[in-house]
Amino acid sequence: MTPTYASSNGRLDIWWDNRSDFNANGEKAIFFGAMYDLKNWNLPGFAIGASYVYAWDAKPATWQSNPDAYYDKNRTIEESAYSLDAVYTIQDGRAKGTMFKLHFTEYDNHSDIPSWGGGYGNIFQDERDVKFMVIAPFTIF
Protein backbone atom coordinates (compact mmCIF):
# COMPACT_ATOMS: atom_id res chain seq x y z
CA MET A 1 0.00 0.00 0.00
CA THR A 2 1.21 3.49 -0.76
CA PRO A 3 0.61 5.60 2.38
CA THR A 4 -0.04 8.75 0.34
CA TYR A 5 -3.09 7.21 -1.32
CA ALA A 6 -4.62 6.23 2.01
CA SER A 7 -4.43 9.82 3.26
CA SER A 8 -5.61 11.68 0.17
CA ASN A 9 -8.51 13.41 1.93
CA GLY A 10 -10.71 12.65 -1.05
CA ARG A 11 -8.65 14.14 -3.86
CA LEU A 12 -7.40 10.77 -5.15
CA ASP A 13 -10.28 8.60 -3.98
CA ILE A 14 -11.85 6.19 -6.42
CA TRP A 15 -15.39 5.00 -5.82
CA TRP A 16 -15.30 1.26 -5.20
CA ASP A 17 -18.35 -0.90 -5.77
CA ASN A 18 -18.30 -2.44 -2.29
CA ARG A 19 -17.07 0.56 -0.27
CA SER A 20 -13.49 -0.61 0.43
CA ASP A 21 -10.73 -1.01 -2.14
CA PHE A 22 -9.72 -4.32 -0.45
CA ASN A 23 -6.10 -3.43 -1.09
CA ALA A 24 -4.36 -3.39 2.29
CA ASN A 25 -0.81 -4.67 2.74
CA GLY A 26 -0.78 -8.31 1.52
CA GLU A 27 -4.56 -8.49 1.27
CA LYS A 28 -6.22 -10.98 -1.05
CA ALA A 29 -9.83 -10.62 -2.23
CA ILE A 30 -12.45 -12.33 -4.33
CA PHE A 31 -15.37 -10.48 -5.91
CA PHE A 32 -18.62 -11.70 -7.46
CA GLY A 33 -21.17 -9.45 -9.07
CA ALA A 34 -24.02 -9.55 -11.56
CA MET A 35 -26.58 -7.23 -13.13
CA TYR A 36 -29.87 -8.42 -14.61
CA ASP A 37 -31.64 -6.42 -17.33
CA LEU A 38 -35.42 -6.47 -16.75
CA LYS A 39 -36.37 -5.84 -20.39
CA ASN A 40 -37.60 -9.45 -20.70
CA TRP A 41 -40.12 -8.66 -17.94
CA ASN A 42 -41.50 -5.75 -19.98
CA LEU A 43 -39.45 -3.26 -17.96
CA PRO A 44 -37.10 -1.73 -20.56
CA GLY A 45 -34.42 0.43 -19.00
CA PHE A 46 -34.66 -1.20 -15.57
CA ALA A 47 -31.98 -3.46 -14.12
CA ILE A 48 -31.14 -4.94 -10.73
CA GLY A 49 -27.83 -6.19 -9.44
CA ALA A 50 -25.93 -7.62 -6.53
CA SER A 51 -22.30 -8.15 -5.62
CA TYR A 52 -20.26 -9.68 -2.81
CA VAL A 53 -16.60 -9.41 -1.89
CA TYR A 54 -14.55 -11.25 0.72
CA ALA A 55 -10.96 -10.31 1.60
CA TRP A 56 -8.39 -11.84 3.93
CA ASP A 57 -4.74 -11.64 5.05
CA ALA A 58 -4.67 -7.84 5.37
CA LYS A 59 -1.52 -6.96 7.31
CA PRO A 60 -0.75 -3.63 8.98
CA ALA A 61 1.63 -1.23 7.28
CA THR A 62 5.29 -1.65 8.21
CA TRP A 63 6.16 2.07 8.10
CA GLN A 64 4.50 2.92 11.44
CA SER A 65 6.97 5.09 13.39
CA ASN A 66 4.60 5.65 16.33
CA PRO A 67 2.01 2.84 16.23
CA ASP A 68 -1.18 2.98 18.29
CA ALA A 69 -2.23 0.43 20.92
CA TYR A 70 -3.99 -1.71 18.29
CA TYR A 71 -0.86 -2.21 16.18
CA ASP A 72 0.34 -5.82 15.97
CA LYS A 73 2.63 -6.61 13.04
CA ASN A 74 1.60 -10.29 13.15
CA ARG A 75 -2.14 -9.67 13.06
CA THR A 76 -4.17 -10.06 9.88
CA ILE A 77 -7.77 -9.07 9.39
CA GLU A 78 -10.65 -9.98 7.11
CA GLU A 79 -13.28 -7.74 5.56
CA SER A 80 -16.37 -8.37 3.45
CA ALA A 81 -19.25 -6.49 1.85
CA TYR A 82 -22.33 -6.97 -0.24
CA SER A 83 -24.10 -4.47 -2.47
CA LEU A 84 -27.53 -4.23 -4.09
CA ASP A 85 -28.37 -2.04 -7.08
CA ALA A 86 -31.53 -0.76 -8.73
CA VAL A 87 -30.98 1.03 -12.04
CA TYR A 88 -33.10 2.88 -14.56
CA THR A 89 -31.69 4.11 -17.88
CA ILE A 90 -33.69 6.49 -20.08
CA GLN A 91 -34.33 4.70 -23.38
CA ASP A 92 -34.96 7.56 -25.84
CA GLY A 93 -35.25 11.30 -26.27
CA ARG A 94 -32.77 14.05 -25.47
CA ALA A 95 -31.71 12.38 -22.21
CA LYS A 96 -31.23 8.93 -23.78
CA GLY A 97 -28.63 6.93 -21.89
CA THR A 98 -28.98 8.90 -18.64
CA MET A 99 -28.79 6.45 -15.76
CA PHE A 100 -30.33 6.70 -12.29
CA LYS A 101 -28.79 4.23 -9.87
CA LEU A 102 -29.59 3.43 -6.25
CA HIS A 103 -26.66 1.57 -4.66
CA PHE A 104 -26.73 0.02 -1.17
CA THR A 105 -23.65 -1.48 0.52
CA GLU A 106 -23.24 -3.31 3.83
CA TYR A 107 -19.53 -3.43 4.75
CA ASP A 108 -18.12 -5.57 7.58
CA ASN A 109 -14.62 -5.24 9.01
CA HIS A 110 -14.13 -8.50 10.89
CA SER A 111 -11.98 -6.91 13.61
CA ASP A 112 -12.31 -4.64 16.63
CA ILE A 113 -9.65 -2.20 15.38
CA PRO A 114 -11.04 1.35 15.09
CA SER A 115 -11.22 3.02 11.69
CA TRP A 116 -7.77 3.76 10.22
CA GLY A 117 -6.07 2.38 13.35
CA GLY A 118 -3.68 -0.44 14.10
CA GLY A 119 -1.47 0.28 11.10
CA TYR A 120 -4.34 -0.05 8.61
CA GLY A 121 -4.36 3.41 7.03
CA ASN A 122 -7.01 2.49 4.48
CA ILE A 123 -9.38 0.23 6.44
CA PHE A 124 -12.36 1.51 8.41
CA GLN A 125 -14.95 -0.06 10.69
CA ASP A 126 -18.36 -1.45 9.68
CA GLU A 127 -20.51 0.80 7.50
CA ARG A 128 -23.87 0.86 5.82
CA ASP A 129 -23.78 3.09 2.75
CA VAL A 130 -26.49 4.29 0.35
CA LYS A 131 -25.72 6.23 -2.81
CA PHE A 132 -28.03 7.68 -5.43
CA MET A 133 -26.21 8.43 -8.67
CA VAL A 134 -27.24 10.19 -11.85
CA ILE A 135 -24.94 9.49 -14.77
CA ALA A 136 -25.61 11.54 -17.88
CA PRO A 137 -23.72 10.97 -21.14
CA PHE A 138 -22.71 14.04 -23.11
CA THR A 139 -20.54 14.99 -26.04
CA ILE A 140 -18.21 17.98 -25.96
CA PHE A 141 -17.42 18.11 -29.70
Which H or E run contains 6? helix 3-6
CA angle 89, 33, 3 (to 5 degrees): 105
Judge whether 9 lies within some domain.
no
Q: Which helix (H) or strand (E) holds 64?
A: none
* Spatial separation of the C-alpha atoms in residues 66 and 26, rounded to whole Å: 21
Count of residues in the chain: 141
Phi, psi of 124 (to 5 degrees): -120, 175
- In this structure, which amino acid lies at residue 117? G
Sheet holding 99-109, edge to edge: 28-37, 46-58, 77-89, 99-109, 127-135
Model pLDDT, residue 81: 94
Domain residue limits at 115: 14-63+74-135
- Contact between 31 and 52 under an 8 Å Cβ cutoff? The reply is yes
Question: What confidence score (pLDDT) does residue 54 get?
Answer: 95
pLDDT for position 12: 54
Question: Does any domain span residue 114?
Answer: yes
Number of domains in the chain: 1
In a domain, 4, yes or no: no
Task: Report if residue 95 sits inside a domain.
Answer: yes
Per-residue confidence (pLDDT) for residue 41, from 0 to 100 = 96
Beta pairing class for 46-58 and 99-109: unpaired
Residue 24 lies in a domain: yes
Specify the pLDDT at position 98.
Answer: 96
Residue 105: the pLDDT is 94
Q: What is the DSSP letter of 113?
A: P
Tell me, yes or no, whether 69 lies in a domain: no
| Domain annotation covers residue 123 | yes
CB atoms within 10 A of CB 41: 9
Q: Is 39 helix (H, G, I), strand (E, B) or coil?
A: helix
Asked, for residue 100, whether it belongs to a domain, the answer is yes
In this predicted structure, what is the pLDDT of residue 64? 65
> What are the 10-residue block averages of pLDDT along the chain, 141 residues in total?
49 64 85 96 97 91 73 85 97 95 93 79 83 90 80
